């Protein structure tokens, strides 16, 4: 594992051990929470958060780590609830049984609720020395999952008769990416707003890539069923724009993201990191086409 | 409406209007969130929080109001998820259709998630002037809903083969009451720990009263179906102790609560308020027996 991976996995491990290890936590809930968080996927959001924190000086690494953990826990929570029978009814996730499939629907609902709560607790447990950063981080993280602009809103658009594709993706996926870049800056005590566009564009790019994978990959390669967007009649970039159109959109988004990085000592290093991460996320033939160095 | 009621209802109204009014919030989600919060029940937790804040001087009313709102939103979230088909499958709540019954299961899951998030956001939006209180409040509130000691843990005990009644009630109900008294003190900048027992004992009392109502009241009087504990084979004080035993336990809990109030300028007034609230919550014949002035 590289240093960043170790930092993220160790912090997630500690957060879960503290939350479930007290003896008051029902054993099945503890197991289900663990199942939702380990093994992880790409840990894309916490990596992005820490990359921005590093570019901003990362003067309080305990806070940026907590922010990274918080984002990943919220992401895991959204996956668990997304997989529920009333939504995607997905039997597998990250190559293993989904939480409700392995532990039942009740525990899956509770795991999501518990992880959302734990995400906010994590922020508070590591900001005692800089409480004003907790105010900023809670607002950033809250907005990215919440009712008005966040994951919950994005998901709820699926229940509406009409939805604008970009609005939907902006809330369902890009909001948490934007929170990742903003939280990285806020955790390092820097103004966060300049970092919004980077996260938002990367998030939209990631969602388009996900839509492309849903039609152009295999269940083995992505660890979950394919063809879900069509099966659930969900808005999708490939349905809307065709495969070529979706690829062109992806390229534009990644370029806009890269160009938006604010002037700071770590800007060049961050730009390289982002290209590296995007390459890691995309199937090889896509990466070559989208990322131009 | 008395002043406290007005303060709570106005603040809840503002919180929801801000969260759902931006135009980015899907219309059905906005309606479902509203349905979950209005009309309210007894608003017992926010009233308790504000009563303790007042006893502690309430030097920053915007913060104590935010804490009160946060607790009520979390309570509403837990009710919405509790009513889901995989849990109680309740068709009514507070005398109206439950959220999943009126808006479908998907929106009910999302309403719960959104309200949990909004609860933490509310705290951050009103603590800019005293950020160190946000640290304390987030910890208090988080613990009361979370995986290890909170509502989520309490609810998850229902999925275990064996459960200790008092542990179960302590997490499922008393945790949020203890958070209400602790948060009231913390919102006023006072140490919170001394206030834990008051909330915990009142919460246990409230749960025992709820168990008693479930066997000894009518659906019209309590706005939800009765006989649910037996129907769902849930742990209950009346099942465990019989009706007389449960009544005796309730009396002890209320007395312990009252005796635990820390020495402070507002202690006497608070003691009166609590007796008033308990009387409001219990059927008349129970109140007379339990509350001795």
A152 CB near a chain B CB, below 8 Å? yes
Under the banding of pLDDT at 50, 70 and 90, the label for residue B286 is: low
- Decide: A199 and A174 in contact? Cβ < 8 Å: yes
Interchain CB distance below 8 Å, B28 and A109? no
Tell me which chain B residues have a C-beta less than 8 angstroms from the C-beta of A105. 86
Quickly state the pLDDT bin for A53 (edges 50, 70, 90).
very high
Name the band, by pLDDT with cuts 50, 70 and 90, for residue B282: low
Q: How many Å lie between the alpha carbon of B244 and the closest alpha carbon of chain A?
A: 29
Q: How far is CA B75 from CA A8, A62, B6, B9, in A?
A: 32, 31, 19, 15
Of A22, A30, A147, which has the smallest distance from its Cβ to B33's Cβ?
A147
The verdict on whether omega for the bond into residue A256 sits within 30 degrees of 0, i.e. cis, is no
A272 CA to chain B: closest CA distance, Å?
34
Q: H-helix or E-strand containing A97?
A: strand A96-97
* Parallel/antiparallel/unpaired status of strands B92-93 and B96-97: antiparallel
Whether the predicted pLDDT of B281 surpasses 70: no
Name residue B97's beta-bridge partners. Answer: B92
Question: CA distances (Å), A166 to each of A154, A172, A173, A181, in order?
Answer: 10, 10, 10, 19
* Ranges A244-248, A287-291, B70-74: which has the least confidence: A287-291
A274: which 2 tokens? 């982002």
Report which of residues B124 and B289 the model is more confident about: B124
Provide CB contacts within 8 A for B219, sequence distance 6+.
Answer: B92, B225, B226
Question: What's the whole-number average pLDDT of chain B?
Answer: 91
Which of A29, A150, A171 lies nearest to residue B156, judging by beta carbons? A29
Higher pLDDT, B172 or B35: B35
Among residues B8, B90, B91, B100, the alpha carbon closest in space to that of B48 is found at: B8
Chain A hits for B157, CB-CB cut-off 8 Å, are 26
Regarding the domain delimited by B3-290, which CATH topology (the fold level of the hierarchy) does it fall under? Farnesyl Diphosphate Synthase (1.10.600)
Give the pLDDT band (50/70/90) at residue B107: very high
What is the predicted ipTM?
0.93
Angle between helices A44-55 and A267-281 (to 10 degrees): 170
Each residue of B164-207: pLDDT tens digit?
A: 777 888 888 899 999 999 999 999 999 999 999 999 999 999 88
Q: Give me the helices (H) in A160-236, please.
A: 165-169, 175-187, 196-216, 219-222, 228-231
Answer yes or no: do B160 and A20 touch at CB < 8 A: no
When computed from its CA atoms, the radius of gyration of chain A, rounded to whole angstroms, is: 18
Nearest residue, CB atoms, B84 vs list A109, A132, A157? A109
Structure tokens at B76: 């509403």
Summary count for chain B: helices (H), strands (E)? 16, 2
Q: Do A147 and B77 touch (CB under 8 A)?
A: no
CB-based contact (8 Å) between A221 and chain B?
no
Helix (H, G, I), strand (E, B) or coil at B97: strand
A34 vs B: CB within 8 A: no
Mean predicted confidence (pLDDT) in B229-241: 82
Which residue in A87, A135, A147 is closest to B20 by CB distance? A147
């Amino acid at each position: 594992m590289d240093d960043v991976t170790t930092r993220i996995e160790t912090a997630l491990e500690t957060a879960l051990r503290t939350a479930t290890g007290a003896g008051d936590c029902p054993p099945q809930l503890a197991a289900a929470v663990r199942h939702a968080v380990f093994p992880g996927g790409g840990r894309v959001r916490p990596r992005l958060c820490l990359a921005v924190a590093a570019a901003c000086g990362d003067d309080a690494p305990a806070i940026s780590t907590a922010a990274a953990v918080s984002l990943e826990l919220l992401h895991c929570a959204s996956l668990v609830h997304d997989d529920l029978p009333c939504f995607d009814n997905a039997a597998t996730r990250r190559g293993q049984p989904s939480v409700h499939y392995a532990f039942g629907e009740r525990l899956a609902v509770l795991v999501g609720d518990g992880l959302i709560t734990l995400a906010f607790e994590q922020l508070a447990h590591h900001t005692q020395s800089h409480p004003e950063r907790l105010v900023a981080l809670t607002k950033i993280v809250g907005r990215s999952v919440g009712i008005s602009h966040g994951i919950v809103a994005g998901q709820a658009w699926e229940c509406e008769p009409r939805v604008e594709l970009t609005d939907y993706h902006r809330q369902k996926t890009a909001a948490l990416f934007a929170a990742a870049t903003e939280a990285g800056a806020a955790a390092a005590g820097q103004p966060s707003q300049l970092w919004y566009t980077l996260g938002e564009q990367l998030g939209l790019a990631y969602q388009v890539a996900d839509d492309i994978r849903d039609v152009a990959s295999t269940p083995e390669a992505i660890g979950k069923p394919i063809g879900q967007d069509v099966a659930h009649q969900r808005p999708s970039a490939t349905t809307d724009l065709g495969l070529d159109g979706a690829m062109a959109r992806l390229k534009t988004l990644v370029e806009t993201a890269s160009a938006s990085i604010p002037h700071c000592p770590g800007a060049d290093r961050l730009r390289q990191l982002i290209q590296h991460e995007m390459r890691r996320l995309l199937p090889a033939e896509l990466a070559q086409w989208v990322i131009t160095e």
